[in-house]
Amino acid sequence: MLLRAIATITSFTLLSRVLGFVRDACMAKVLGAGMLSDIFLIAFKIPNFFRRLLAEGAFNAAFVPLFAKAYAGEGAEDAKRFAGEALMLLLLILSSLVLLVEVFMPYVMTVIAPGYAPGTPEFLLSVDLTRITFPYIAFVSVVALFGGVLNTLHQFKYGAFSPTLLNLIMIASLYGFEGHFPTSAHNLAVGVVIGGVAQLLLMLWALWRFKMLFAPRFSCITERSKRLLRLMLPGMLGAGVFQLNVFIDTMIATMAGEGSVSYLYFADRINQLPLGSIGIALGTALLPMLAAQLKRDERSAAVDTYNQAVRIGLFIALPCMAAIMALGTPIIDVLFRRGAFTVEDAAQTSLTLKMFALGLPAFILAKILTAPFFAMEDTRTPVKIAIVCVLFNLVSNLVLGLHYGLAHQGIALSTAMSGWLNVFLLHRSLKQRYAWHTTKGSKIFAAKSAVAALILGIVAFSAYTGLKSHIDYYESHGGFRFLGLMLLCGLSSASFLAACWALKLGSPRLILAQLKRKKTA
């Protein structure tokens, strides 16, 4: 069931990611990686940060186990009543947040973008664009709540598909609003809000289709809603450690020079492909399954499900990390280098991407490791760990990014190191406090996957070195560079599968069987 859910989420997420790359390629071509791009990306990141931290992070992590218990225990009508209470609480929180941020946006911007001096053109434009984009948080946070309801019903495709609408509308806005607003960045900002409305309408239709449509309940202060708040408040940091690190990265990047925010964004977009399609899919599918198993007192089955998720996560993350480290330069070159996005922009972005990739397995494992805590309604432990990791990331950002002058590359490396610290502390706590363990079979499978990924990296880098002079010779021909990248990716994939066979991980069918295995010695 876990693999089937992950496959559903991943397929729709990949569709969204492909369109996201098209969107980003259009942005790079029109805006480049200069000040205008930096400012729009700050305006886009701020509502996304609050959305991931509040709605997709703490709120959903607290809501899904409680909703699953209500649905399994008392039935659909009781579950809808609880969902209505939760929706009302969320709307109260969101309306207050949006109102406060809109009114005090100049003061918020001095914290968010300390590199922009108040009163300067870049500061004023940042305030204007963020005021346009910030209401997006209200629409997309309600979308996340509706997605939690649908995920509990094992209807994962609607939440996974909804970002596709945002990408399509942003692409259309970039070109369709040309001449209607002062800059192309304004076009994109308006498109963000329209995309949020479209996502909300999609989820309302899905709830209506499955007869789970519900309205906010004004009598929302109940024992269950109080329990939700108690679980949610500490979880705001615990569930969002990676998002807090990204937020800190953006703050420091505004002080690291023009283009740094854009380099981090475009690099992170590539890094987010496996993280978004696998890591988030694993976390999304894993949490309701663990909550349901623990509700039925099936602890052994829950631990097996957790180990299955670890195997799946590492089997995908390790070769992705190796491929990005070896092929980061041609990937960025092919996807983004055109129009206002220069050769130097591509070079700086690819170096930043490689630093991010060092933490890719950690980012995916963190999604898996936090799920058991939230399924057991323990949000305090992840929050304590998150505080340590956020402080570590802040200090290392200041040291590597600013003190040693590594700028965006140092910021990305700090994020990767913080990710690994997060995984180490989560794993140790899960083992010591709750006796959840990674089985010997999972460890062996992970070690063999790591060796196969190393072989992939060596083959990919060697092939790229051999083809580099030919790719450079046809530098102006994007089609040739694209074919060259596809050839490199094909060779890399073949080498990984061959290594899996040589290491006796087996054929693709046998590997799939091992990933599905319920019990491992």
* Among 273, 370, 274, 356, CA closest to 315: 274
Higher-confidence residue of 207 and 293: namely: 207
CA atoms within 13 A on the CB side of 216: 9
DSSP string, 266-330: HHHHHHHHHIIIIIHHHHHHHHHHHHHHHHTT-HHHHHHHHHHHHHHHHHHHHHHHHHHHHHHHH
Reading the block at residue 35, the tokens are 């000040």
Number of Cβ within a 10 Å radius of residue 107: 12
Residues 6+ apart with CB under 8 A from 199: 139, 140, 143, 162, 163, 165, 166
* Helices 2-31 and 157-176: angle between axes, nearest 10 degrees: 10
Reading the block at residue 426, the tokens are 């989560």
> Cα(79)–Cα(401) distance, rounded to whole angstroms?
48
- As a whole-number percent, the residues of the chain with pLDDT over 90 amount to 27
pTM, entire model: 0.74
Residues 6+ apart with CB under 8 A from 46: 112, 130, 133, 134
Question: Please, which pLDDT band fits residue 10 given cuts at 50, 70 and 90?
Answer: low
Helix (H) or strand (E) segment spanning residue 258: none
Q: Which residue is it, tokens 């729709």?
A: 12
* Among 115, 77, 101, 404, CA closest to 250: 115
Could you tell me the residue ranges of all domains in the chain? 1-234
* Helices 299-336 and 478-502: angle between axes, nearest 10 degrees: 150
Higher-confidence residue of 514 and 71: namely: 71
Decide if 41 contacts 347 (C-beta within 8 A).
no
Question: Please, which pLDDT band fits residue 2 given cuts at 50, 70 and 90?
Answer: low
Reading the block at residue 370, the tokens are 């936090």
Reading the block at residue 452, the tokens are 């196969």
> Cα(119)–Cα(494) distance, rounded to whole angstroms?
55
- Residue 477 CA, chain-centre distance (Å), reads 32
Reading the block at residue 223, the tokens are 């024992």
DSSP string, 338-405: STT--HHHHHHHHHHHHHHHTTHHHHHHHHHHHHHHHHTT--HHHHHHHHHHHHHHHHHIIIIIIIS-
Decide if 9 contacts 160 (C-beta within 8 A).
yes
Higher-confidence residue of 37 and 468: namely: 37
The reported pLDDT for the residue numbered 4 is: 66
Per-residue model confidence as pLDDT tens digits over 145-186: 888 888 778 777 787 788 889 999 999 999 999 888 999 999
Is the pLDDT reported for residue 238 higher than 60? no
The reported pLDDT for the residue numbered 350 is: 93
Kindly tell me the sign of the dihedral angle through the C-alpha atoms of 50, 54, 58, 64: negative
- As a whole-number percent, the residues of the chain with pLDDT over 70 amount to 86
The reported pLDDT for the residue numbered 519 is: 45
The reported pLDDT for the residue numbered 270 is: 87
Reading the block at residue 511, the tokens are 């590997």
